[in-house]
A and B are shown apart, each in its own frame.
Chain A
Amino acid sequence: MGFSLTKDPRGVVVVGVDGQLIVGNRQDLKQKVLDALEGGTRRFVIDFTKTGYIDSSGLGVLVSLSKKVREQGGELRLAGLNEDLQTLFELTKLDTLFAITKTPAEALAAF
Chain B
Amino acid sequence: MSIGKSVKRVDGYEKVTGRARYTDDFFEGKFLIAKVLHSTVANGWVKSIDTSVAEKLPGVVKIATCMDVPDIEFPTAGHPWSTDPNHQDVADRKMLNRRVRLYGDDIAAVIAEDEVIAKRALALIKVEYEEYKPFVTVEEAMSDDATQLHEAFPKNILKHTAYELGNFEEACKEEGLKFFEGKYETQTVQHCHIENPISYAYMEKGRIVVVSSTQIPHICRRVIGQALGLPWGKIRVIKPYIGGGFGNKQEVLYEPLNAYLTTLVGGRCVKLELSREETFVSTRVRHAMTFYLKTAVRADGRLVARKIEGYSNQGGYASHGHALIANSTNGFRHLYQEEKALKSDVYTVFTNISSGGAMRAYGIPQMIFACESHMEDIANGLKIDPIELRKKNMMKLGYIDPLSGIECHSNGLAECIEKGKVAFAWDEKRAAFVNQTGPIRKGIGMAIFSYKTGVYPVSLETAACRIVLNQDGSVQLQLGATEIGQGADTVFTQMAAEIIGLQVEDVHIISTQDTDITPFDTGAYASRQSYVSGMALRKTAEEFKGKILAYAHEMYKHPIYMMDIVAGNIVKKETGKIIATVGNVAEEAFYSLTHSVHITAEATNQCKSNAFSFGACFAEVEVDIPVGKVKVLRIMNIHDSGIILNPQLAEAQVHGGMSMALGFGLSEQLLFDSKTGKPLNDNFLDYKIPTMLDTPELEAGFVETFEVTGPFGNKSLGEPPTIPAAPALRNAIFNATGIAINKSPIMPEQLVSKFKENGLI
Tell whether A and B belong to one assembly.
no
**A residues engaging B (CB < 8 A)?**
none
